[in-house]
Structure 1
Amino acid sequence: MNDAEKLEIVCARAWPPVVERPLGQWRLRWADGFTGRANSALAVGDPGIAVSEALKAVCDFAHDLAIPAVVQVIEDDAAERAVAAAGWVEWTEHAAGHRVSVLTGPLPDGPAPDGEVLDEPTPEWWELAAGDRDPSDAVRHVLTTGKVGYGVVEADGVTAGAVRGAVVDGWLHVSRLAVRPDFRRRGLASALMHALAGWGREHGAGSWVLQVALDNAGALALYSRLGCTEHHRYRYWGPGPGACEDPQS
């Protein structure tokens, strides 16, 4: 595997689906619809069979578990060209943005007195990070499995911001960064990131990795200020007309 593929495996381990089935080195994933990453086939490495046959297996898996048939592929990779040749098209229906920049950078030094990282998520953390104080079992599984820290920052007596960090193989995977609208532009997002960086160092991480939609200009600017640069990009692909027939229909 090349470096981009290896990093995608790290990110996948930091974002575990409820159901995961290997297809050679590909991974078929389901998490009851929570996020594209946990409900798509990660098409990196060798599926062990022809790509056209692997895509049929993706379709069967998706039909069995009632999710759209989608593959996550590194942009401009040989696998992406093979997926396109099989009649699949860019899956622009993904609400969070179907093209994603994968950023990396060294963890910054220095204390973060305004933020802390909890061992267990609070209802306020769930509300900010997942949009629900009492999320589904699938959401809980994705966001709490592994070596995970739950960053929070308080302001004016309330939890004003939240972020999730997961450590895998020396990488700190960062996700679900959120600040309440009334508390934005106060530096709270930066405080959260610095607090999470300290937690990551304590748990053996030396660098962080983030997956950010290309149209999320605010997040990309924040992470650039924190020293992150683009490592590679990926995008989602779905079947074109007639490329993924449901055998049950």
Structure 2
Amino acid sequence: MTEAGQIENACADAWPALTERRLGGWRLRAAGGFTGRANSALAVGDPGTGLASALETVCDFAHAQRIDPVVQTIKDGPLEPALREHDWRPYAEYAGGHEVAVLLGGIDSTTRDPRVRVLDAPTPGWWRLTVGGTEPTEAQRRVLTSGPAVGFGVAEVDGGTAGSVRGAVADGLLLVARLAVDPAFRRRGLATALMSGIGEWGAAQGATRCVLQVSVGNSGALDLYAGLGFREHHRYRYWVPWKDRAS
């Protein structure tokens, strides 16, 4: 398997779906529609069957889980031309951004900010910034609190939660996601402080590199991470069938 495939599998371990089924090297995932990553088939490696049969299985699984059939594949990889031949297309209308840059960087475990703590369990303030409310759905709770090792970073200002971030370690990689700062507390260095705090936590869990998955349309986040030394390793895209046979 390529390094990009290894990274994607580690990220899938660090971002577990509510329901997952293996199809050879592929991973069919569903989580009630919460995030594209947790509701798509990660198609890297060999599915162990012909492509037409594998794509049919993807559709059957998705329909059984009451989600749309979606395939996540490495951009410009060998699978993409074959997907076109089987009447699949890039999911360009996906609201979260169908093309995603996967960034790699080192781990900053030296810069400490007293405003940031990394907790073993999410707080109501963390949930509020992460999902927009203090009562997560079953799928949100599963995706965001499960994994080999998960940390919940919070930035606290004036006794309240002003920022949040999620970190999870798998296969030596720290996957950082859901970085958020309350609009009332922006431009105070909290995003950088949260990245440093979750990096310190990740290093203590054995991570040696940090990975981020950012929509190519999110220029603000890409600029932030470029300033922190992150560089693009590869991209992935979501694909859907031109015509869903069971729709």
Regarding TM over 0.5, the answer is yes
Q: Write the mapping of 1:140-159 to structure 2, written as runs, cut at 5 A.
A: 140-146=141-147, 147-159=149-161
Q: Are 2:38 and 1:38 equivalent residues in the alignment? A: yes
What's the CA shift string for 1:23-65, capped at 9, x where partnerless? 1101110111110000000010011111122111111111111
Distance in 2 (alpha carbons) for counterparts of 1:81 and 1:135: 39
Distance in 2 (alpha carbons) for counterparts of 1:183 and 1:85: 49
Q: Write the mapping of 1:18-29 to structure 2, written as runs, cut at 5 A.
A: 18-29=18-29
Overall identity of the aligned pairs, in %: 55
- What secondary structure is seen at the aligned counterpart in 1 of 2:229? coil
- What secondary structure is seen at the aligned counterpart in 2 of 1:151? strand
Read off the aligned partner of 2:203 and give its amino acid letter. R
Contact 2:109 2:203 in 1 (8 A): no
Instruction: Say which is worse superposed, 230-239 or 102-111, in terms of deviation.
Output: 102-111
Once superposed, what is the RMSD of the aligned Cα atoms?
Answer: 1.0
State TM-score, norm by structure 1.
0.96
Read off the aligned partner of 1:118 and give its amino acid letter. L
Read off the aligned partner of 2:131 and give its amino acid letter. A
Runs of 4+ in 1 over 6 A off after TM superposition: none
Instruction: Specify the alignment match of 1:179 in structure 2.
Output: 181
State TM-score, norm by structure 2.
0.97
Contact 2:109 2:197 in 1 (8 A): no
- What secondary structure is seen at the aligned counterpart in 2 of 1:160? strand
Q: Are 2:232 and 1:230 equivalent residues in the alignment? A: yes
Q: Are 2:82 and 1:55 equivalent residues in the alignment? A: no
CA deviation after TM superposition for structure 1 residue 188, in Å: 0.5
Instruction: Specify the alignment match of 1:200 in structure 2.
Output: 202
- What secondary structure is seen at the aligned counterpart in 2 of 1:200? helix
- What secondary structure is seen at the aligned counterpart in 1 of 2:8? helix
Q: Write the mapping of 1:78-93 to structure 2, written as runs, cut at 5 A.
A: 78-93=78-93
Instruction: Specify the alignment match of 1:217 in structure 2.
Output: 219
How many pairs align? 245
Read off the aligned partner of 2:6 and give its amino acid letter. K
Instruction: Specify the alignment match of 2:121 in structure 1.
Output: 120
What's the CA shift string for 1:88-145, capped at 9, x where partnerless? 1111232110000000011024232231101110010001112121101111011011
Q: Are 2:111 and 1:133 equivalent residues in the alignment? A: no
- What secondary structure is seen at the aligned counterpart in 2 of 1:27? strand
Structure 2 unaligned residues grouped into runs of 5+: none
Instruction: Specify the alignment match of 1:105 in structure 2.
Output: 105
Contact 2:106 2:210 in 1 (8 A): yes
Contact 1:52 1:83 in 2 (8 A): no
Read off the aligned partner of 1:36 and give its amino acid letter. G
- What secondary structure is seen at the aligned counterpart in 2 of 1:102? strand
Contact 2:116 2:153 in 1 (8 A): yes
Distance in 2 (alpha carbons) for counterparts of 1:108 and 1:125: 22
Distance in 2 (alpha carbons) for counterparts of 1:190 and 1:171: 19
